[in-house]
Amino acid sequence: MKKLNVLILSSFIALSGCGTVAEMAGYNTAALNAEAAKSYMQIQQQAQAKQMIDTSSQTAKRIQTVFERLKPFANQANKTGVPFNWEMTVIREDTLNAWAMPGGKMAFYTGMVEQLNLSDAEIAAVIGHEMTHALLEHSKKDAGQKILTGLTMQVGTALLSSQGIGGDAVNLGASLLSDLGIDKPYSRNQESQADAGGLRLMAQAGYNPQAAISVWEKMNKVNNNNNAFNAIVSTHPNNNARIKAMQKLLPEILPIYNAAAKP
């Protein structure tokens, strides 16, 4: 009987997909987004208490300007059936990171811009990438996977498990971020999907998609992860692999940018 149950479950997984499993467990898009919004508010409150939310610096203003320019195209790309309430929080911290929760709740760390000396187009590449994670509901797929494998049934962990939010973010360490399970990386396939979607979004908004490549060239200088060991064990594509994949997409994406950039 146990073998039969395993066979049935395996067939169910193959037919349904992790996103569907999450929905059957009650983690539909609306519930996912609502839970993320609550968690996002907690992160904002803790960041605010530490005076780490940046609304006035030139870096923060640039990030918000690029974010607002990308938002209409992200809304057009939303195929979830539920409108997103996009929101960007800029955190004054040296972390080289940015992330998006379900429903479009986002954060961008000033260190990413200032340490890498990012142009507006490069900022757009990062934001577009993170927007795509949210639009493709990668967190819901991850929640379904965790439910199927029995790793967790807690809403906070299951729903928000793959945001790539650094454990040092807002000095929360292993507290809130760890409790929510949102300090873990996405899969290689999901990262590749986000790279491709981000290219399209930035091109539609009139930002040169070649800037996405220069972001990873800059990342190579501070975090070269291109050795053979990383290529095998990392959940993320290595930097050079991402660059090559995006270069292959440029012939398809550049006409979108050229059309958007015309006066």
Q: Concatenated DSSP letters for 120-164? A: HHHHHHHHHHHHHHHHTTHHHHHHHHHHHHTS---HHHHHT----
User: Which helix (H) or strand (E) segment is 108 a member of?
Assistant: strand 105-109
Predicted confidence at residue 93, as pLDDT, reads: 92
Predicted confidence at residue 104, as pLDDT, reads: 95
| Contacts for 233 with CB less than 8 Å, ≥ 6 apart | none
Predicted confidence at residue 208, as pLDDT, reads: 97
Catalytic sites, residue numbers: 130
Predicted confidence at residue 191, as pLDDT, reads: 86
Contacts of residues 147-153 at CB distance under 8 Å and 24 or more positions apart, as own/partner, are 147/21, 147/22, 147/25, 148/9, 148/13, 148/18, 148/21, 152/181, 153/25
Pick out the chain residues at pLDDT < 70.
1-27, 140-186, 223-237
Tell me the per-residue pLDDT of 91-122, one tens digit each, with 9 for 90 and over: 999 988 898 988 999 999 999 999 999 999 99
Tell me the per-residue pLDDT of 131-166, one tens digit each, with 9 for 90 and over: 999 999 877 655 544 433 344 334 444 444 444 444
Give the count of beta carbons closer than 10 Å to the beta carbon of residue 10: 11
Predicted confidence at residue 114, as pLDDT, reads: 96
Give me the residue spans of the domains in the chain.
17-261
Predicted confidence at residue 27, as pLDDT, reads: 58
Predicted confidence at residue 254, as pLDDT, reads: 97
Contact 89, 50 (CB under 8 A): no
CA distance 111 to 97: 8
CA distance 129 to 59: 19
